[in-house]
Structure 1
Amino acid sequence: MTSTLKAFAPETKIPQKDPYFVPGYSGYIPQQAFRYSKSYGRTTHDILNDEGVRRSKTSVLENLEPASFEPRDSGKISGYTGHVPVSRQYFGKSFVPKVNLSTSVFSQRRQIEQDLRQRHFEAPLKRLERSQTTVLPQLDVARTTSSVPDLGVISGYTGFVPRIQHRFAKSYLNRVDEARHLPKKIIPSDVKLNGHSFRIYKEDGLIPKYTGFVPGKRFEHARTYGNTTRSLAA
């Protein structure tokens, strides 16, 4: 039965890789001028499959396989004055060995950085144990009676110490200690201040043509500059 099917089955011809030219192709097509009454695709298909037409053995279309972009180091040209990474760290060598060494070290450093970005944990992380006590222990903090601790004066201090110039025949620390513990007499001032007055600007007003900031001026209207500044609430 198989032989019978082969006898009556039409002969199949496997088409080539390029059964027709690309639509819109305006280049030369052999034998196209002598073929009529068929479409562009059918005409080019017949021409490409016709064994009597001489044609190139290579494919018409460009090979669509992805091209390999393997980096190739062509080296550096002698006398190159551009930037070479890590080259400033090496001395006493000619240009070519210096460039080769710098390039090798730079490549190793970049490889180390890339390896560090990919973290691989060989062992599982250790679980932290929770403390048995939930309350923190009470800390013994030494507190002074005064809010400002008395730190004394550092030996060798050359700054001003009140009333130390009248102390003699004693060490520096003893004189400072006596001067600091002398009774202090507070003399009242003759200037009397009104505790309820918090006015900043005088009632005389500001200088004419003053272009600075005047608080509350933008809320005053229909008044002159002098009257406005004399009645400031600040």
Structure 2
Amino acid sequence: MVPGYTGYIPKHEDHFGTRYAENCKNAIDDFARDMNTSKDRRKQLTRQPPKTPVRVEAKPYVSLNQVQHSVSPYFMNINNPAKTFMPGYTGFIPRARSRFAMDYPNLTREALVDFTQRQQHLKKLDKKPVVLNQQCEKSNASSPGCKQAIYINGGLLPHYTGYLPGHKFRFGDTFGTSSRYFHAAANRRSTTAY
């Protein structure tokens, strides 16, 4: 190498204490020697017969020290005493925020039982039809006096993501005030229509 060369020279950091040209020659010789030995090693590895696996798939690991749960606590029966999370579990536990002053197993058990009961109740309600007005269901629903209101009195909640007719043309008000205007206008139209 010409003195003053600023490019990379492999293995140059291992050689020092002599002139630049001599350090560079020794470094390049070391690099060439390492390349030749790695080529020889690769040739030896390719000459060996291919390895055959002992098994097609690994055996499943079963710990001898820990009890294995086959059912998640979410799906266990309400009367099952094991319907709880193990102490140290840091994941989300539904319905547990409002419970205080209990030990962890009882707290999680009570929260999971409450969650399971609510889910079962929602499954029962899922099959029932939605009734907007109880009086309309008892009487003839097609009568003119039977109005089925969709929007409740007052403004809607700020994070309501449903459709609010005409809302995109109103501006300069808060969401609640703007939705109150819609509700008042809808009531005026429904009373004048009959």
Q: TM-score range by the shorter chain?
A: 0.3 to 0.5
TM-score with structure 2 length normalisation?
0.36
The structure in which a higher percent of residues are helix is 2
TM-score with structure 1 length normalisation?
0.31
State which structure, 1 or 2, has the greater radius of gyration over its C-alpha atoms: 1
